[in-house]
Amino acid sequence: MMMNRNLKDTIVESLTGVSVLLIIFIIVSILAVTIAGGWPNLNWAFLSEFPRDGMTKGGIFPAIIGTAVMTIIMAVAAVPFGVITAIYLAEYANEKSWFAKTIRFAVKTLAVVPSIIFGLFGLGFFIGFVGKNIDGLLNGGELKWGQPNILWASLTMALLTLPVVIVAVEEAIRTIPREMREASLALGATKWQTIKKIVIPGSVSGILTGTILAVSRGAGEVAPILFTGAAYFLSDLPHSLSDQFMSLGYHIYIMSTQSSDVDATLPIQFATTLVLLLLTFSLNAIAVVLRYKIRKKEK
């Protein structure tokens, strides 16, 4: 009997150990392969030049800029919207009301919708409906907004990352003790003054974390921008919101599947992957550090 229990213990311990090792193995091999393949090709020229020779040579400058601009527009759209929704849910909504329950359900559902569906939605809603109507009303039907561009791609991506922002901010708001709100209200502050001066400043860590998590998620996603604004190749950077753009994730995809000479682009694929990984990892690292610093300061 005793033997049997000890044996079970050993088996469970080994199983958990193997699982952990497997995860570490996966991460390490991804990093090792990417770094080994990408590092030798990573240099300033690669980061600062346009692709050349049918994209088999040159750099990824427009894809870096495209990804950066897209994530900035995305954050500008998603963060205020997400913060306002989180404030509503945490401060104003009556938990038992059907309206609050509906919003919560919608946020949860939004978080599990496959990203390609967001892409299709962006195509149908932003391009097919909003863009076409803007063209019809302002440009006499001439095609300008009713086609893929960086604005629609960013807004589509904003929808995808919205739940991340809402959840992070709402969590932060809920960690602000009731005593703080009561102290403010007892001094004659209105509810809005309390939110503005106590709740939002106290949630800065959550707002920052949510923003960075959203940005790092959005920077790597391809599916939502596939139909809504990402371009195969552009010889110029986007100049307006109605221009298309190149993106790192999409660039990797086309390099490895659509290129005329996939083998010739292999070094570029690796180096681009490395850039994308470095970008998302460092954004996540910043989020972790910020959260840690602000939490420490709060104490």
Partner 1 sequence: MNDIKVKVNDLSLRYGTNPALKNISMNIPEKQVTAFIGPSGCGKSTFLRTLNRMNDLIDNVTIEGEVLIDNINIYDKNIDVVNLRKKVGMIFQKSNPFAKSIYENIAFGPRINGINQKSKLDEIVEVSLRQAAIWDEVKDRLFNSALSLSGGQQQRICIARTLAVNPDIILMDEPASALDPISTSKIEELIHELKTQYTIIIVTHNMQQAARTSDYTAFFYMGDLVEMNTTEKIFSNPSKKQTEDYISGRFG
202 binds partner 1 (CB under 8 A): yes
Kindly give the interhelix angle for 204-220 and 150-174, rounded to the nearest 10 degrees: 150
User: Which part of the chain contacts partner 1 (CB under 8 A), choosing from 30-38, 174-182, 220-228, 274-282?
Assistant: 174-182
Beta bridge partners of 51: 58
First CA to last CA across the chain, in angstroms?
Answer: 50
Kindly state whether residue 190 participates in binding partner 1, applying the rule CB under 8 A: yes
Site track 66-95 with partner 1 (rule: CB under 8 A), x = hit: ----------------------------x-
Please report how close the Cβ of residue 182 comes to partner 1 at its closest, in angstroms.
7
57: left (phi over 0), alpha (psi -120 to 50) or beta: beta
**Is 182 near partner 1 (CB under 8 A)?**
yes
Structure letter (DSSP) for residue 140: T
Q: Is residue 20 part of the contact set for partner 1 (CB under 8 A)?
A: no
230 bridge partner residues: 245
Q: Is residue 9 near partner 1 by the rule CB under 8 A?
A: no
Residue 177 is a binding residue for partner 1 (CB under 8 A): yes
Q: How far is CA 285 from CA 80, 278, 292, in A?
A: 23, 10, 11
**Binding of residue 2 to partner 1 (CB under 8 A):** no
239 near 62, Cβ under 8 Å?
Answer: no
The rounded distance, in Å, linking the Cα atoms of 55 and 175 is 50
Gap between the Cα atoms of 65 and 245, Å rounded: 9
Residue 78, both tokens: 């998603």
By CB under 8 A, is residue 140 in contact with partner 1? no
185 sits near partner 1 (criterion: CB under 8 A) = yes
Q: Which residues contact 299 (CB under 8 A, 6 or more apart)?
A: none
We find the least distance from the C-beta atom of residue 289 to partner 1, in angstroms, to be 20
Nearer to partner 1, 199 or 274 (CB): 199
Window of 56-64, 130-138, 182-190, 264-272 that interacts with partner 1 by CB under 8 A: 182-190
Structure tokens at 286: 């910043």
Half-sphere exposure of 201 (CA within 13 A, CB side): 10
Q: Which stretch binds partner 1 (CB under 8 A): 32-40, 181-189, 207-215, 261-269?
A: 181-189
DSSP for 31-77 reads HHHHHHHHGGG-SHHHHHS-EETTTTEE--HHHHHHHHHHHHHHHHH
Stretch that binds partner 1, among 80-88, 112-120, 143-151, 192-200 (CB under 8 A): 192-200
Chain positions 103 to 132 lying near partner 1, rule: CB under 8 A, are none
Q: Name the segment binding partner 1 (CB under 8 A); options: 69-77, 196-204, 207-215, 277-285.
A: 196-204
Residue 179, classed as helix, strand or coil, is: helix
Interface with partner 1, residue 197, by CB under 8 A? yes
Provide the minimum distance between the beta carbon of 187 and partner 1 in the complex, in angstroms, as a whole number.
Answer: 4
Which of the stretches 7-15, 195-203, 245-253, 274-282 binds partner 1 when contact is defined by CB under 8 A?
Answer: 195-203
Site of interaction with partner 1 (CB under 8 A): 94, 177, 179-180, 182-190, 193, 197-198, 202, 298-299
